[in-house]
Structure 1
């Protein structure tokens, strides 16, 4: 059963005395299965490659005006490609009008280490769709199928989409087939991840792909990242996703939470810097995407006000480049018990 219990004042960190409701972000996680039609060579970090494939194929599939710039198009607020990739704030965005672009409602998760495939080998691409982004799942499946068929990776080797699976509930670890090639789509409605109570023990976040967070325009290294930096970035992401992509925008004490996170002493980190850059065909240049990997351990004392957001981090990712799989993290879920 889904639980969204409020955080009691006595569990709050300094500066967060108000009762706070947990954020509600419906989402769904999918596994897109492909088969290599001939030998395929992919980069070590293939998220950027798959993001490019999806973007180009989706635009070809749905664009009816041929405009060079989506933002100038009459259909910018009615187009699947514009919503997924340009993500312009709606005209009635209200207090969020200062944002010229909303965070994209998807996260791609390519499998680590799968850089070479032989003909006939399977390949699984993870996909998370957030909130109303799930309405566009049929377009995304069609675009990925078409884009993969046109060629992937070095030499543009073709791949065939064979099936799509969906996790029965976010974080459940159980998957069911919802689509086979040329067949109908039977997706499960998205739902918010079920949140357990704050744990009474230390929790470790494993950063699997580079976490890139900036402070005053500078990317933070291992010696610079504090809990306040991590949490404020995550809080902003959760807030923007809930506002632009769900019917339950987050209302909370943003200033109080941010200040409390800066003062909270319960984080220990073992991090290392990983260099990486990607080529952006749109910008015509290489874009730095280096960041931090390793482990962040959090003490149980005073963790409660931050817990609902930290629980969402493995589903939503954190930092820059989340749509292409950056900022991926895992939590020691085996030690955290969901209530029945």
Structure 2
């Protein structure tokens, strides 16, 4: 029996179940498409000044839209840029009957976004009503289910009961006390960088992964108003250079179209398995937290998603 200790963080993972008359045409990693549509719908709902652009708006630092979706704008005046959600790229396998197509996607919500869950649900309703994909296939939101790891799924919103049901919004993680080996399986491309450069298979090290997980941890807890000692992060990163690893990763080129900047962006990354050995005790809570909140760049569109092999739990 593996000894564990429990850590808790404010944040929840939700599944949004949708129904379409026709199957919407979406890319392999649809997180970017979903995020773009979500942002436009959220702005239409939240904006009270009706300005064409956000810069220069007198309410910019208090606006729900900029705090949730466009935190980079807020950072220009506050110096703080935090994105309090992850739209997971992996679509739940579609189910079809004679007339309707059902599928779902997941969204990890924390920080200020968690307090605005009813607004997020309304935004997704608007997205589906306007349509998704190249053909703008319309649909409707059927239910929202809270899917906390290690807990039973709870339906918190239904089409016929359009109010959020009170539920536990805390993520509970049971972290092994003593573990010397983990295997991570990356389901979507992970994009880790060092000195501003995205790392390839031959350059990336376990220290880069640990550093990325600790930075991600810092961002997640900062969304709840907490901070961790940056000096301790640097010290732990230096210590992690002694870890051994075996990588079975391959390079993939993911592209996304930026509707705001109006050009296609190339986002290279790595997918596959990564085995890490050594004294993992100082790093386990970072690794297990990022299994839920992802790691690396572009986590908001679902990149950097991995699972920890249960064989090593």
Name 2:292's counterpart in structure 1: 315
Asked whether 1:230 is paired with 2:233, we answer: no
Match of 2:13 among 29, 32, 37: 29
Residue equivalent to 1:73: 57
How many angstroms does 1:307 deviate by?
Answer: 1.0
Query: How does 1:148-227 map onto structure 2 within 5 Å?
Result: 148-167=128-147, 170-183=148-161, 184-227=163-206
Residue of structure 2 equivalent to 1:287 = 265
Residue among 73, 85, 95 paired with 1:106: 85
Deviations 1:47-77 (A, max 9, x none): 1111011100010111111223334222223
**Against the structure 1 CA distance between its residues 273 and 130, is the aligned structure 2 distance closer, same or farther, given a 3 Å change threshold?**
same
How far the C-alpha of 1:83 sits from its partner, in A, is 1.0
User: Partner residue of 1:7?
Assistant: none
Of 142, 145, 159, the match for 2:125: 145
Q: TM-score, normalised by structure 1?
A: 0.83
User: Are 1:302 and 2:302 an aligned pair?
Assistant: no
> Quick one: distance in 1 between partners of 2:149 and 2:67?
26
**CA distance in structure 2 between the aligned counterparts of 1:180 and 1:316, rounded to whole angstroms:** 25
Q: Which position in structure 1 is the counterpart of 2:68?
A: 84
* Residue 111 of structure 2 corresponds to residue 127 of structure 1: no
SS across alignment from 1:230: helix
SS at match of 1:276: strand
Q: TM-score, normalised by structure 2?
A: 0.89
1:322-337 pair list within 5 angstroms: 322-333=299-310, 335-336=312-313
Per-residue CA shift, 1:289-323, capped at 9, x if unaligned? Answer: 12000111121x31111111011111110111111
- Structure 1 portions without partners, runs of 5+: 5-23, 92-96
Contact between 1:211 and 1:328, CA under 8 Å: does it hold in 2?
A: yes
In 1, Cα distance between equivalents of 2:165 and 2:95:
31
Q: Is the 8 A contact 2:92 2:105 kept in 1?
A: no
Distance 1:71 1:214, change over 3 A: same
Partner of 2:27 in structure 1? 43
Q: 1:266 aligns with which of 215, 240, 244?
A: 244
CA contact (8 A) 1:25 1:248 kept: no
SS of the residue 2:175 aligns to: coil
Which deviates the most, 316-325 or 183-192? 183-192
In proportion to residue count, which structure has more strand?
2
SS at match of 1:275: strand
41-50 or 178-187: which moved more? 178-187
Work out which of the residue numbers 3, 6, 17 in structure 1 matches 2:6: 3
- 5+ long unaligned stretches in structure 2: none
TM-superposed CA distance for 1:198, in Å, is 3.6
User: How large is the Cα RMSD of the aligned pairs?
Assistant: 2.5
Number of matched pairs: 307
